[in-house]
Every structure is written in structure tokens, then in C-alpha cells.
Amino acid sequence: MPSKNYCMRLNRYYENEEEKKELDRAHDNMLTKINYWKRNWNYDINLSDYNEFNKHSKEISKIKNIHRFFCEIDLDNIKSAEELFLYGKFHKQISFAWPARHYIRTLKKIDNDKLQELSISTDSDSTSEEIEK
């Protein structure tokens, strides 16, 4: 086990207590932002993606609700009336985030539909009726 003043992230010893506090505060800030983005924006991010995601976070915040549409749209070839309508509706957001499109298209959204409501089986209803009798 490393000694008390050894930093595994830097692979060296801290120079003083202030440096330790500052690095710990910065690391906690990064983890807090990542958890916020995961919980509220539904993006799958880790510490290695933090710097790039943080650089484009303003653009991502504008299109987080239309992420799938943003990734699929080709502005040179709009195929249907539905795509044209959605592009017209979200034109400001799309044009603001368009310069960061190459990075945004690599992001993965977390699928929140994995948890589904439990259905109540009819067997449990029949056993409760038998108990009441």
C-alpha cells in the first residue's frame, strides 16, 4: 500500500498539503460533473472522456433531447417531410452544435428503457382469493 502522501494519479508524491487538497478538489469536481451528465443528460461518460466532453458540453446541452435525430441527419440530403419539419423546428440548436458533430456522433446515450414495469400475475390473485375463503 502506498504511503499517505503518494498520488496514484500523478505517480509521484505530493509537494505539500495544498497541492493534495487542490488535486482532490479538482478530481471530485470532475466526478460530480460526470455523474450529473450521466444522470440528467443520459450520456455514457468516463474519466478518459471528460476533457473532450467538457469542451463540447455547451453544444451537447442544446441537442441532448434530439441526439438521435442530430446523428442521423444529413443536411445535404433531407429525405422526408418529417426530417424537414424537425430540421426547421430545431434549426438553431442544430446549427449551433454542427461544428462539434464529429464528436457528438461518437457519444452513446444510456438506454433508460431497460427497466420495465412489473406485471402482476393472475396466479397471485387466485391464491389471495383462496386464503380469504
Per-residue cell: 13 = 508524491
The string of pLDDT tens digits covering residues 14-25 is: 888 899 999 999
Torsion angles phi and psi, residue 83, rounded to 5 = -65, -40
For the chain, residues with pLDDT lower than 50 are 113, 115-116, 126, 133
Domain annotation covers residue 1: no
Domain annotation covers residue 92: yes
Position 37 scores a pLDDT of: 94
Position 116 scores a pLDDT of: 46
Domain annotation covers residue 48: yes
Position 65 scores a pLDDT of: 92
Domain annotation covers residue 124: no
Domain annotation covers residue 118: no
Residue with cell 393472475: 122
Position 115 scores a pLDDT of: 44
Domain annotation covers residue 73: yes
Domain annotation covers residue 31: yes
Position 68 scores a pLDDT of: 92
Per-residue cell: 112 = 433508460
Position 120 scores a pLDDT of: 61
Please count the structural domains in the chain. Answer: 1
Domain annotation covers residue 122: no
Separation of CA 122 from chain center: 39
Question: Domain residues for 22?
Answer: 14-110
Which residues, in sequence order, are CB contacts of 111 under 8 Å at separation 6+? none
